[in-house]
A and B are shown apart, each in its own frame.
Chain A
């Protein structure tokens, strides 16, 4: 019925106005129908999420114990202390590399870059996101582990992860900043602000939620990766330390991936508990970000 689906704001309100007088009943029904489908979609998503989350929780919880956090993996017995610490270490390394790079890059291509350059970087980021993680892993093994002599290490694993999550941070930052009307930046500069000041005082405030969601999403994706780490971080039964190269580290996804494929029930239990811990870490990160966000809004 409506061929003007993509028309701009001003046009809609002026040109299509008269037709809105008619068919008002049909339009209401249509609106309700679309919303019902949306609710159904959301319900469907929630159903699947709950199904997966509940299965992880119900299978993972029986394996929880204090010992899990206090001891290192030893065969199929023992705890996951080494894997928990190793996972956190890898996440910190990869975010320290990719978050500043990605956010800066996103700001640049959304605000300052020539149009064509911005388009190229956006395109490049999407292509980078499409590289299978196993390929990044093998690349890391050939280049970092062997050629650069890093060995299996936290650094090689962290760099591989940052390659994987960089495009997500770039794209979400870029999208959040582009959402802000251009006039805000122009106005601020007209008032005598430098671009840097305008960015950090006016624009960043508006873009922050989107940027943070992007970083969170990226960190969550990094947490869930196995393939790139097997060939770069290796695996260790012992706690990580500050030696960043030639020192393999443990991580939770390895436990999930490897221990599920073992003939022992105890190993399966440990795998499910490791999956549960991953979900818990993502949850804690979320809560912390939301808490900080709320705090900063109140202060502002």
Chain B
């Protein structure tokens, strides 16, 4: 018995240490990034977040400029508002598409599709997670962008009178909407797979009981299953959102990579923060003053902060929703 106690103790301590690992990793990564980003913030100040012009400066000039004690290439100025807008816009569109589709699919998979087929469909959905993002990007470029430009876009412009954001011109198909759809396809497997497992773990008894009492299948799910899995599902959604915010390669291929202007409608070309870091890292390496590298690190830090804020907001919403009802253990 004593032996078992000790083993249990060891297990708990080991698990506790493991539980701190995400925190340590994040602190370390964030620490390195913040240190790397600091000169850029010193150089640019808060206009970094509100400016719309991104210019790494003339790297072939040999007369560096000095601003606030930091040396940069002549002409250097860093404003990332378009990237912030593009990142939040495209990920929001992605979640608006992916969340309902994933949840409905997960419920259908657990309750309506015979297990024999459900297993195959689930595997197919999860296969999607293993496809390299470049392939999604290519699919978005070759298949999706023309469909958005010629079918989906023109159809959506009919609603332009109600929502001016939906009005044309539709453009080339490379932009906000296409990026959002590609991101949605990429996060659907994450949300679907996780929610399906959670739903499948809900005990069958109360559901059958409720149906015996006269609830329809939909009602029993809405009132019994959903409240039980809600927290887990929201976790999955936030995880998917994080992936949408941080995706690089696929977005790079379909977003149109707008530089120095803000999107005007749903079809405008955009740039996201993650894809900008990926695209410009190579060029920034040739900056003799190293300021461009610091600026890219500052983008990464900003993205980290944005991810934190969106997560906190999502949590707050959940908390508020819970208070309204006043139940849930």
A binds B: yes
Q: A-side interface residues toward B, CB under 8 Å? A: 4-9, 11-13, 16-17, 20-21, 24, 27-28, 30-31, 34-35, 37-39, 41-42, 44-46, 48-53, 55-56, 100-102, 104-105, 107-109, 112-113, 117, 120-136, 138-139, 142-143, 163, 166-168, 170-172, 174-176, 178-180, 194-197, 199, 206, 209-210, 213-214, 216-217, 219-221, 223-227, 252-253, 256-257, 260, 275, 278-279, 281-283, 286, 290
Complex Cα–Cα for A35 and B222 (A):
12
Complex Cα–Cα for A121 and B273 (A):
25
In the complex the two chains form, is B311's CB within 8 Å of A226's CB? no
The answer to whether the Cβ of B190 comes within 8 Å of any Cβ in the partner chain is: yes
Q: B228 contacts which chain A residues (CB < 8 A)? A: 9, 179
The answer to whether the Cβ of B219 comes within 8 Å of any Cβ in the partner chain is: yes
Complex Cα–Cα for A111 and B223 (A):
26
In the complex the two chains form, is A52's CB within 8 Å of B327's CB? no
Q: Which one of B152-160, B164-172, B260-268, B274-282 is at the A interface?
A: B274-282
Q: B149 contacts which chain A residues (CB < 8 A)? A: none
With A48-B185, A194-B5, A260-B134 as known contacts, state yes or no: A213 contacts B124, CB within 8 Å.
no
Which 8 A-B residue pairings sit nearest by Cβ, starting from the closest?
A282-B130, A130-B242, A130-B307, A132-B274, A194-B8, A220-B130, A104-B18, A196-B8
Which residue of chain A has the shortest Cβ distance to B203 in the bound complex?
Answer: A181
Complex Cα–Cα for A56 and B138 (A):
10
Q: A41 contacts which chain B residues (CB < 8 A)? A: 100-101, 104-105, 108
Q: A101 contacts which chain B residues (CB < 8 A)? A: 18, 21
Interface residue from B133, B143, B245, B321 paired with A130 (Cβ < 8 Å): B245
Complex Cα–Cα for A34 and B112 (A):
12
With A45-B101, A120-B23, A209-B200 as known contacts, state yes or no: A38 contacts B12, CB within 8 Å.
no
B27 to chain A, nearest CB (A): 9
Given contacts A171-B194, A256-B135, 4 further A-B contacts (CB under 8 A): A4-B325, A45-B105, A127-B307, A210-B201
A202 to chain B, nearest CB (A): 14
Contact with A along B1-45 (1 / 0, CB 8 A): 000110110011011101111110110010011001000000000
Q: B18 contacts which chain A residues (CB < 8 A)? A: 100-102, 104-105, 108
Q: A17 contacts which chain B residues (CB < 8 A)? A: 213
In the complex the two chains form, is A56's CB within 8 Å of B131's CB? yes
Complex Cα–Cα for A124 and B21 (A):
10
The answer to whether the Cβ of B139 comes within 8 Å of any Cβ in the partner chain is: yes
The answer to whether the Cβ of B151 comes within 8 Å of any Cβ in the partner chain is: no
Complex Cα–Cα for A179 and B201 (A):
7
In the complex the two chains form, is A121's CB within 8 Å of B19's CB? yes
Q: Which one of B53-61, B65-73, B231-239 is at the A interface?
A: B231-239
Which residue of chain A has the shortest Cβ distance to B312 in the bound complex?
Answer: A123
The answer to whether the Cβ of B254 comes within 8 Å of any Cβ in the partner chain is: no
Complex Cα–Cα for A122 and B242 (A):
13
Complex Cα–Cα for A87 and B312 (A):
36
Which residue of chain B has the shortest Cβ distance to A147 in the bound complex?
Answer: B32
The answer to whether the Cβ of B75 comes within 8 Å of any Cβ in the partner chain is: no
With A13-B210, A51-B143, A121-B23 as known contacts, state yes or no: A168 contacts B104, CB within 8 Å.
no
In the complex the two chains form, is B218's CB within 8 Å of A195's CB? no
B280 to chain A, nearest CB (A): 10
In the complex the two chains form, is A257's CB within 8 Å of B249's CB? yes
Q: A56 contacts which chain B residues (CB < 8 A)? A: 131, 135
In the complex the two chains form, is A42's CB within 8 Å of B245's CB? no
Interface residue from A49, A126, A210, A221 paired with B198 (Cβ < 8 Å): A210
Q: B124 contacts which chain A residues (CB < 8 A)? A: 46, 49-50, 53
With A121-B23, A172-B194 as known contacts, state yes or no: A226 contacts B134, CB within 8 Å.
yes
B222 to chain A, nearest CB (A): 7
Complex Cα–Cα for A174 and B238 (A):
14
Interface residue from B135, B303, B311 paired with A52 (Cβ < 8 Å): B135
The answer to whether the Cβ of B109 comes within 8 Å of any Cβ in the partner chain is: yes
In the complex the two chains form, is A217's CB within 8 Å of B227's CB? no
In the complex the two chains form, is B139's CB within 8 Å of A55's CB? yes
Which residue of chain B has the shortest Cβ distance to A182 in the bound complex?
Answer: B329
Q: B232 contacts which chain A residues (CB < 8 A)? A: 175, 178-179
B91 to chain A, nearest CB (A): 10
Q: A206 contacts which chain B residues (CB < 8 A)? A: 201
Interface residue from A53, A170, A257 paired with B22 (Cβ < 8 Å): A170
Which residue of chain B has the shortest Cβ distance to A199 in the bound complex?
Answer: B11
In the complex the two chains form, is A167's CB within 8 Å of B22's CB? yes
The answer to whether the Cβ of B174 comes within 8 Å of any Cβ in the partner chain is: no
Interface residue from A6, A123, A142, A225 paired with B321 (Cβ < 8 Å): A6
In the complex the two chains form, is A125's CB within 8 Å of B22's CB? yes
B111 to chain A, nearest CB (A): 9
B19 to chain A, nearest CB (A): 4
In the complex the two chains form, is A127's CB within 8 Å of B304's CB? yes
Q: A6 contacts which chain B residues (CB < 8 A)? A: 227, 230, 321-322, 324-325, 327-328
In the complex the two chains form, is B197's CB within 8 Å of A210's CB? yes
In the complex the two chains form, is A279's CB within 8 Å of B127's CB? yes
In the complex the two chains form, is A104's CB within 8 Å of B311's CB? no
In the complex the two chains form, is B29's CB within 8 Å of A224's CB? no
Complex Cα–Cα for A239 and B29 (A):
31
Which residue of chain A has the shortest Cβ distance to B224 in the bound complex?
Answer: A9
In the complex the two chains form, is B274's CB within 8 Å of A166's CB? no
In the complex the two chains form, is A227's CB within 8 Å of B239's CB? no
The answer to whether the Cβ of B126 comes within 8 Å of any Cβ in the partner chain is: yes
Which residue of chain A has the shortest Cβ distance to B127 in the bound complex?
Answer: A282
Which one of B15, B113, B128, B228 has the greatest number of beta carbons of chain A within 10 Å? B15
In the complex the two chains form, is A195's CB within 8 Å of B197's CB? no
Which residue of chain B has the shortest Cβ distance to A10 in the bound complex?
Answer: B327
Complex Cα–Cα for A14 and B98 (A):
34
Q: A195 contacts which chain B residues (CB < 8 A)? A: 8, 11-12
